[in-house]
Amino acid sequence: MEDMREILKTNNAVELNFAEAVLKNAGIRSVVLDTHMSILDGSMVIIPRRLMVADDDEARARELLSEALASPAEWT
């Protein structure tokens, strides 16, 4: 098993799904951790979900997400 790095920590399911799609489109595999724990806390949003990538993909993933998540939506 390779080492993983956290690149996003959020309670925003839309942002998390978008980030996963951006990475997948770039050929970067990712894993979401704490999904079940986040669901257990209910609506209190105490436990955010974590998006993880392999160490070797961290720099590229951070670059992609910083561009993708920093850009305003085209419809706003």
56 is in which domain, residue-wise? 4-70
Confidence category of residue 6, pLDDT binned at 50, 70, 90: very high
Is 24 contained in some domain? yes
What pLDDT is attached to residue 13?
A: 85
Residue 60: CATH number of its domain: 3.30.70.790
pLDDT at residue 70 is higher than 70: yes
Q: What are 9-65's pLDDT values in tens digits? A: 988 888 999 999 999 999 999 999 987 665 555 555 678 889 999 999 999 999 999
What is residue 31's predicted lDDT score, i.e. its pLDDT? 95
State how many domains the chain has: 1
Q: Which residues contact 54 (CB under 8 A, 6 or more apart)?
A: 2, 3, 4, 5, 29
Specify the pLDDT at position 35: 78
pLDDT score, position 11: 84
DSSP, res 15: H
